């Protein structure tokens, strides 16, 4: 069974993914793959430079994520262009890895996809788990974690589908607004249930 794990910025999806790994559930991380495909010399990085200009590349040939972020977080068209470069390659690699794990006999494989709904990737998974916190807590965590102004935090939250919408579309909701221990207990119960199906 393929489970899509998603959330919104600063809801704690990475924490949930780590807890799943602790329970020996394989997690394929879209963010890790999206970093691999933009390493120096890759076709995706060359396409990003052609599209957004040399200022998004560091002198050592690596991607300047901050410069690129400044462009795409404030411009919907630019964000779509970037996603058009990165997403097809990320999807291909995720499917490849999931297929290999399933062939090796893994009963549950988690695909950690931050923008699962925004990218229309529901078809890639059998069920969707959303890591949820209320939006006010999301904004507070984001400001604290990244030292963002109110506007910077708001821009980043608005660049994604709202966490409430994601919660309503989920098959499984992991409420991460309490303690880590409470989140861990929810994930443990959920994994036991999946493995018994």
Rounded to the nearest integer, the mean pLDDT of the chain is 94
For residues 114 and 173, state if they share a domain: yes
3-state helix, strand, coil split of the chain in percent (to 5) is 60, 10, 30
Contact 63, 45 (CB under 8 A): yes
Question: What is the model's pLDDT at position 83?
Answer: 87
Q: How confident is the model at residue 196 (pLDDT cuts 50, 70, 90)?
A: confident
pLDDT, tens only, 51-110: 999 999 999 999 999 999 999 988 999 999 998 999 899 999 999 999 999 999 999 999
What is the pTM assigned to this prediction? 0.82
Residue ranges for the binding site?
10-15
159 has a pLDDT exceeding 90: no
In a domain, 35, yes or no: no
Instruction: State how far the alpha carbon of 128 is from the alpha carbons of 4, 90, 123, 181, 187, in Å.
Output: 5, 18, 10, 22, 13
Q: What is the mean pLDDT of residues 10-15?
A: 94
Indicate the number of domains in the chain: 2
pLDDT, tens only, 24-39: 999 999 989 999 999 9
In a domain, 50, yes or no: yes
Question: What is the model's pLDDT at position 27?
Answer: 98
Question: What is the model's pLDDT at position 74?
Answer: 85
Residue 14's CATH number: 3.40.50.300
In a domain, 55, yes or no: yes
For residues 73 and 131, state if they share a domain: no
Residue ranges for the binding site for ATP?
10-15
For residues 175 and 134, state if they share a domain: yes
Chain CA centroid to CA 108, Å: 18
Range of the domain at 170: 1-26+108-197
Alpha carbon distance 2, 77 (integer Å): 31
For residues 112 and 196, state if they share a domain: yes
Contacts of 23 (CB under 8 A, 6+ apart): 187, 188, 191
């Amino acid at each position: 069974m393929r489970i899509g794990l998603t959330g919104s910025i600063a809801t704690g999806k990475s924490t949930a993914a780590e807890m799943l790994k602790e329970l020996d559930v394989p997690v394929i991380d879209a963010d890790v793959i999206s970093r691999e495909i933009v390493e120096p010399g890759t076709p995706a990085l060359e396409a990003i430079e052609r599209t957004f200009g040399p200022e998004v590349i560091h002198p050592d040939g690596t991607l300047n994520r901050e410069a690129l972020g400044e462009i795409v977080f404030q411009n919907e068209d630019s964000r779509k262009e970037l996603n058009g470069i990165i997403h097809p390659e990320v999807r291909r690699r995720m499917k490849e890895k999931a297929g290999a794990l399933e062939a090796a006999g893994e009963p549950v494989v988690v695909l950690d996809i931050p923008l699962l709904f925004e990218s229309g990737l529901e078809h890639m998974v059998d069920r969707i788990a959303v890591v949820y916190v209320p939006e006010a807590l999301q904004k507070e965590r984001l400001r604290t974690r990244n030292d963002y102004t109110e506007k910077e935090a708001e821009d980043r939250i608005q660049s994604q589908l709202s966490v409430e919408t994601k919660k309503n579309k989920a098959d499984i909701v992991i409420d991460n607004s309490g303690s880590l221990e409470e989140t861990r207990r929810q994930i443990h119960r959920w994994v036991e249930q999946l493995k018994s199906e």
